[in-house]
Structure 1
Amino acid sequence: MKTLYLDCGMGAAGDMLTAALLELLPDKEEFLRELNGLEIPGVTVSGEKIAKCGIQGMQVTVKVNGTEESEDMHVHAHEHDHIHDDSHEQDHVHHHVHSHHHHSGMHEIGHIVQDLPLSEKVKADILAVYSLIAEAESHVHGVPVKEIHFHEVGTMDAIADITAVCLLMDKLAPEKVIVSPVHVGSGHVRCAHGILPVPAPATAYILRDVPIYGGSIRGELCTPTGAALLKHFASEFGNMPVMKTDAIGYGMGKKDFDTVNCVRALLGETEETGDTIVELQCNLDDITSEAIGFAQEQFFEAGALEVYTVPVQMKKSRPGVLLTVMCREEDKDIMLKLFFRNTTTLGVRENVSRRYKLSRTIRKVDTEFGEVRKKVASGYGVTREKYEYEDIARIAKEQEMNLEEVARRIDMQAGRKAED
């Protein structure tokens, strides 16, 4: 399986991810020409080979109207963004934003992205990443997403970074993206209206449910743009898998630390192997159905992969049930405790099996009913897609439709977007 592993031991920012992925392409100059040919308003992007801590890598520079981004104006799309509503105004930036500067909201950003000569898939990825950032800013600042506004220079810079990464991911086309636990840095960031902890609030919100850690390095290592890109594209977060690497890229950051400041990208092949699961079973003929239902809930809450019962004929011609719990090896002990705590069994049998599975990811789809999650499973030469039941069921109840009608409406809407 074609797998991309992103080592974020020094965090991640849009330009660092762009540079790391760019290094994986055989023709880097051709990609830069294509990116600049998109004519993102006022933006030019360049790349050069540099060395940090004795390691060669790529550093990407974005200029807006001929001016290179600075730390003060870089839209990690986060605390450097200009957030305001009708009742108050906050300059969440490292420098003061002057009132004559233009600011863009999600509506304007959507127009900019839709005008770019890109595939609908890449445009959808760009807008999905920006939506993650806007949602985080909305949550942090307590204003609706439609009232989130980004500083003009920062907006163009962020669009360039996000567009570059989305286009690179489309070209590299990995079947699975694994991201390491993310180093976010430590300390505080000074903004125009105060001092904020690292990770910045927007970054922390985006990275909820993602393994992150701090450390001795003082400073902001992961920006909201970087966080949103990782969150959008990651199939999973964890350690580097067993893989045969075909290409390695180092995307260098602007700052210098004692540790090389880079994102490392490794592209290669991982084997489509299975994992080991434990099957625990017991026969029961002296327990109520309510107790069995309660036990099943406890198993699932503790991480069981599957729990089911089968009617069986037991000794002395007694009808009973075969209770089976399937779990990971590391969860076996807690499952055994739950067997003896919640059932009447005096013994549990164990079978160890190999499980082969498709790689599963969750994609978010914007629909007329709101955001819907879609499960995508792939591997062994097949791909399957299915909308998340809870999302479809919720819409079906709200719209007084059945499940098939909801799925059909969403598919029809997706088809119309593809034709446009």
Structure 2
Amino acid sequence: MILHLNPFSGLAGDMLLGALLDAGASLDAVRRAVALTGLTGWTVDAEEVRTGPLIAVRVRVEVEDDATERSASELQMMAARTGLPIAEAALTAIAEAEGALHGVPAADVHLHELGGHDTLIDIVGCAAALLDLGVTRVHCAPLPLGRGTVRTRHGVLPVPAPATLALLGGAIVRDGGEGEAVTPTGAALLRAAGTVYGAVPEMTLRATGYGAGTREIPDRPNVVVAMLGEPTAETVRQVVLSTNLDDVTGEVLGYVIERVLAAGAADAWVTPAVMKKGRPAHVLNVLTSLELAGRLQKLILAETGSLGLRRGMVEKVALPRRFETVRLYGQEVRMKHGPGGVKPEHDDLVRLAAVTGRPLRELAREALDAL
């Protein structure tokens, strides 16, 4: 599924979560993901509210622990328990941005306003909702930056807040909005999802959701609009990043593939090769959008130690596909439908096999039978 966001009045984590729930994401799936973090003493609810002339969904998060300060590493550890790459990537992005701003390593970052458990719930909840909806691509219209000031632990700061600006590197932005139109949590989620900015992509519209913020804006509804659609058959131009590696272990190669996919790469693979002087090697290939190529290039070079790589433009033909969910042994398994047939998502089967102890091939057959 393709998700396109229209941040009409801005974007925050709770607004995005409300829009995804309004578009059809399961609140139970969100609650299950939050429970995996190990957090206790919380509730997540959604209600319909009127904002201006529109009805939208507002998310209400309550926690017994009302502390707003804690280490970024603690929140990252809790997010890692969920197995949701977008949640982990979003919190990592926040830690890296705050560390760069304050001149400390990301591992030593202590979060103030962003240190509350509601930040963790918003981020994990959005990641779970994206997974539940089968979203594989996120697009977003230009973001209004807001104006004015915001009061923080470090004093009064200009809007957009420095952390927000750091997280929005590469985004398309515009003037507009009063106050803090885009929050660091919203910006981190967009970065973690590998968001592409611009016009609405060609797609068959399937659902629309409206997520409400908590502020009242005099002249407009305070909402973000989520449009969910299936891609049509289309040819898109993408970039292939390739590098030859003769001194990198298989474990590192597997790790790099996980990192680039979590950062938004469309695909990644490794092929064996024989280099000059008969040296055995591997060729790492990463397929990505032009917008993400620069960021992924830096990641590849940093993680592999390679002294260079090749960039090539390719045309990718993408056929339409859609997802539906079946339940097996109390767990959800996504089923991918394409012109050539249907198959269960491998990661969901692996998770189910670990829970049930049943063979993977039998679970795949049972998932097909459950349709």
**TM-score per shorter chain, which class?**
0.5 to 0.7
In structure 2, give the amino acid aligned to 1:194. Answer: G
State the Cα distance separating 1:113 from its structure 2 match: 2.8
State the Cα distance separating 1:103 from its structure 2 match: 4.3
State the Cα distance separating 1:186 from its structure 2 match: 1.0
The structure-2 alpha-carbon separation of the partners of 1:253 and 1:207, relative to structure 1 and needing over 3 Å to count, comes to: same
State the Cα distance separating 1:104 from its structure 2 match: 2.6
Q: Which residue of 1 aligns with 2:196?
A: 236
Map 1:9-158; keep pairs closer than 5 Å: 9-25=8-24, 28=27, 30-31=28-29, 33-35=31-33, 37-38=35-36, 40-65=39-64, 103-115=69-81, 118=82, 120=83, 122=84, 124-151=85-112, 154-158=115-119
In structure 1, give the amino acid aligned to 2:51. Answer: K
The structure-2 alpha-carbon separation of the partners of 1:210 and 1:396, relative to structure 1 and needing over 3 Å to count, comes to: closer
- Distance of 2:231 and 2:58 partners within structure 1: 28
**CA deviation map 1:83-138 (0-9, x unaligned):** xxxxxxxxxxxxxxxxxx684323322332344xx3x2x1x321210011111111
- For structure 1, which runs of at least 5 residues remain unmatched after alignment? 68-100, 275-355, 404-417
Match of 1:202 among 160, 163, 167: 163
**SS of residue matched to 1:62:** strand
The structure-2 alpha-carbon separation of the partners of 1:56 and 1:138, relative to structure 1 and needing over 3 Å to count, comes to: same
CA contact (8 A) 2:69 2:115 kept: no
The structure-2 alpha-carbon separation of the partners of 1:367 and 1:109, relative to structure 1 and needing over 3 Å to count, comes to: farther
In structure 2, give the amino acid aligned to 1:105. Answer: S
**SS of residue matched to 1:59:** strand
Work out the percentage of aligned pairs sharing the same amino acid: 31
**CA deviation map 1:305-336 (0-9, x unaligned):** xxxxxxxxxxxxxxxxxxxxxxxxxxxxxxxx
The structure-2 alpha-carbon separation of the partners of 1:143 and 1:359, relative to structure 1 and needing over 3 Å to count, comes to: closer
Equivalenced residues, count: 276
State the Cα distance separating 1:44 from its structure 2 match: 1.2
**CA deviation map 1:10-41 (0-9, x unaligned):** 2211100111001122654x345535654523
**CA deviation map 1:66-90 (0-9, x unaligned):** 86xxxxxxxxxxxxxxxxxxxxxxx
- Distance of 2:264 and 2:107 partners within structure 1: 30
Q: Which residue of 2 aligns with 1:314?
A: none
The structure-2 alpha-carbon separation of the partners of 1:180 and 1:152, relative to structure 1 and needing over 3 Å to count, comes to: closer
CA contact (8 A) 1:19 1:250 kept: yes
CA contact (8 A) 1:366 1:372 kept: no
Larger Rg: 1
**CA deviation map 1:178-233 (0-9, x unaligned):** 11111121111123443211110000011011111222x32001000000101111
**CA deviation map 1:356-409 (0-9, x unaligned):** 556999xxx99878996459776xxxx6543467755665557x9xx9xxxxxx
In structure 1, give the amino acid aligned to 2:101. Answer: V
In structure 2, give the amino acid aligned to 1:34. Answer: R
- Distance of 2:264 and 2:69 partners within structure 1: 37
Map 1:16-415; keep pairs closer than 5 Å: 16-25=15-24, 28=27, 30-31=28-29, 33-35=31-33, 37-38=35-36, 40-65=39-64, 103-115=69-81, 118=82, 120=83, 122=84, 124-151=85-112, 154-215=115-176, 217-257=177-217, 258-274=219-235, 357=237, 373=260, 385=269, 386-387=285-286, 392=300
The structure-2 alpha-carbon separation of the partners of 1:185 and 1:26, relative to structure 1 and needing over 3 Å to count, comes to: closer
Q: Which residue of 2 aligns with 1:339?
A: none
In structure 2, give the amino acid aligned to 1:202. Answer: A
In structure 2, give the amino acid aligned to 1:108. Answer: E
TM-score relative to the length of structure 1: 0.57
In structure 2, give the amino acid aligned to 1:24. Answer: A
The structure-2 alpha-carbon separation of the partners of 1:223 and 1:359, relative to structure 1 and needing over 3 Å to count, comes to: same
- For structure 2, which runs of at least 5 residues remain unmatched after alignment? 242-251, 270-284, 287-295, 311-350, 355-371
CA contact (8 A) 2:98 2:109 kept: yes
The structure-2 alpha-carbon separation of the partners of 1:396 and 1:177, relative to structure 1 and needing over 3 Å to count, comes to: closer
- Distance of 1:15 and 1:376 partners within structure 2: 22
CA contact (8 A) 1:202 1:224 kept: yes
TM-score relative to the length of structure 2: 0.64
